[in-house]
Amino acid sequence: MAKVIFTPWKRHSELLAVRRQFYPSPDYDGADMRSQACATVGAWKLRGNLPHPVEATALLTDAILHDDALKNSVFSIRATYAAAFCRFVTGLVDSKLHGQRRTMFQRALDLGLPASFVELRHEATHRELPSLTVLRNSTLRSLEWLWDYYWVKTEHGPAALSAPLRLRSVSSGAGAEAEGVEDGDESDSAGCASATVSGLRAFLDQAVQGGEDVEPPRKKRKVRQQHLSAVGAELVSVCKRSRGATAALVRVMLRDSILVPKGRRLGDSMADDLAKWDSLLQMIAEGYPGFLVTLTERMIDELAFTGSSDPKSDPYCEGVYIWLDHILRSSQWGARRQVLSYSYILAACKSSSNHWTTLLGRNIDRQDDGLLAAISEKRTALPQAPSSTDEDEDLAALSKFGWETADAWDSRPLGVV
């Protein structure tokens, strides 16, 4: 017997039309229909039985449309982003809503939701609002995640929507698989993921080989830089065009001995590897900021959830730590670090303490102390307030025109005799 499904839309084609408005195709050049899609979802909300992913997509999209500094204050924009993001995460992982006594992190693990989303929700709810740059980037990543989690399944009709929605976790440890792979479509998704990984590996191989055989040697650096720029532009295009490609690219870089060379020994210098790949990573992060967030989160996962019995003596863990410390503290990455939220990195360091996470957390705290000291020095260097002699001169000038001061101000609270 067929299962009856109650939906706020009359026909499935209406849901697909709203999906096209939220996620237009890359070659679409018509009017922006996202506001109309949000209005349609608002009407569906009144009818009831609205799936949370649909509502969350509308809230996040509406927050993006609200992001106009000419019409709204920065605080209002930040608050709108934070409210939409918190409701999106809470609706998925809140144990009180789903009747299961499990932590939010456990629920996120089951759904494949990045653990950093839960930590950022906690920061926005219980601490200071994250920066506008972090909120914008997290909103875009949330919309990408919702596409893989819900919207991609709407293509197969109502029957696909009635199936349990779950993704395999990508943040549960060093051995996590590709992002955006549904359990029911493992064969097709595995083939797509394999093709994506193979293509990304070919791009990185080109980056390594670019300009190596060019003569004369003095032109080698210039030719290699041009080649890296071309490869970086292609990788940015792939990350923007293919959802899930960013996670695949990061996984290839870390696990295929690209950023951390195979066979390195403990204590070996990483200076050559940093010089070799740093410019390419910065190019990708410049063109697609979400890459840097995914890269740093995967690196801290590699350190915090390593499968090594002795992380302190593991050359791979040491190499990942050197890269992550370089990204988080070097001046070259200063401008691009604005998209990062340190809350998840610090939470991972505290919850899964080992030699490298402890050292990383200590370095971040020391960097924060240095920043506060620099701010304090700048404040002391500011011009001082006008002295009382300046005020006396002003009062003397005003008295020539008939102005005089009133009695001394009484600072007692109202009602006190």
Q: What's the pLDDT score for residue 318?
A: 93
Closest CA to 311 of 364, 266, 362: 266
Please say which residue of 110, 137, 167 terminates a domain.
167
pLDDT at 50 over 80: yes
Measured CA to CA, the distance from residue 170 to residue 200 in angstroms comes to 18
Please tell me whether the peptide bond between 130 and the residue prior to it is cis, using omega within 30 degrees of 0. no
Per-residue three-class SS string for 132-198:
HHHHHHHHHHHHHHHHHHCHHHHHHCHHHHHCCCCECCCCCCCCCCCCCCEHHHHHHHHHHHHHHHH
90 or 383: whose pLDDT is higher? 90
Please tell me whether the peptide bond between 386 and the residue prior to it is cis, using omega within 30 degrees of 0. no
φ, ψ at 182 (rounded to 5°): -80, 150
Q: What's the pLDDT score for residue 1?
A: 54
Q: What's the pLDDT score for residue 96?
A: 61
Same domain? For 218 and 98 the reply is no
Same domain? For 262 and 341 the reply is yes
184 or 2: whose pLDDT is higher? 2
Q: What's the pLDDT score for residue 166?
A: 45
Share of the chain above pLDDT 90, in %: 24
Q: pLDDT (tens digit, 9 = 90+) per residue, 117-158?
A: 888 998 898 888 888 888 998 999 999 899 988 999 888 766
Same domain? For 32 and 102 the reply is yes
pLDDT at 260 over 50: yes
pLDDT at 44 over 70: yes
Please tell me the total count of domains within the chain: 2
pLDDT at 255 over 80: yes
Whether 300 maps to a domain, the answer reads: yes
Whether 401 maps to a domain, the answer reads: no
Same domain? For 216 and 111 the reply is no
Q: What's the pLDDT score for residue 36?
A: 94
Whether 393 maps to a domain, the answer reads: no
Q: What's the pLDDT score for residue 317?
A: 93
Closest CA to 236 of 226, 223, 249: 249
Beta bridge partners of 167: 182
Placement of tokens 């390195």 in the chain: 264
Q: Give residue 40's pLDDT band: very low, low, confident or very high (50, 70, 90).
A: very high
φ, ψ at 84 (rounded to 5°): -65, -45
277 or 213: whose pLDDT is higher? 277
Please say which residue of 379, 394, 409 terminates a domain.
379
Same domain? For 195 and 292 the reply is yes
Q: Report the chain's terminal Cα–Cα distance, integer Å.
A: 83
Whether 236 maps to a domain, the answer reads: yes
**253's tokens:** 């870089």
Contact in structure between 74 and 80 (CB atoms under 8 Å): no
Measured CA to CA, the distance from residue 102 to residue 111 in angstroms comes to 13
Q: Give residue 182's pLDDT band: very low, low, confident or very high (50, 70, 90).
A: very low
Same domain? For 300 and 200 the reply is yes
Same domain? For 366 and 314 the reply is yes
Whether 94 maps to a domain, the answer reads: yes
Please say which residue of 167, 195, 212 terminates a domain.
167
Same domain? For 124 and 227 the reply is no
Contact in structure between 121 and 107 (CB atoms under 8 Å): no
Residue 274's domain comprises 186-379
Share of the chain above pLDDT 70, in %: 70
Same domain? For 149 and 199 the reply is no
Q: What's the pLDDT score for residue 406?
A: 63
Measured CA to CA, the distance from residue 37 to residue 15 in angstroms comes to 10
pLDDT at 184 over 50: no
40 or 107: whose pLDDT is higher? 40
Whether 411 maps to a domain, the answer reads: no
Same domain? For 11 and 114 the reply is yes
386 or 352: whose pLDDT is higher? 352
CA dihedral 172, 176, 182, 188 (to 10 degrees): 180
Q: pLDDT (tens digit, 9 = 90+) per residue, 317-370?
A: 999 999 999 999 888 888 888 888 788 888 888 888 889 999 988 888 877 655
Same domain? For 1 and 110 the reply is yes
- Give the chain's mean pLDDT: 78
CATH of the domain at 349: 1.25.40
Closest CA to 38 of 24, 67, 59: 59
63 or 413: whose pLDDT is higher? 63
Average pLDDT on 218-238 reads: 75
**310's tokens:** 């002795």
Q: Max alpha carbon distance in the chain (Å)?
A: 97
Whether 406 maps to a domain, the answer reads: no
Same domain? For 78 and 26 the reply is yes
pLDDT at 284 over 80: yes
Whether 11 maps to a domain, the answer reads: yes
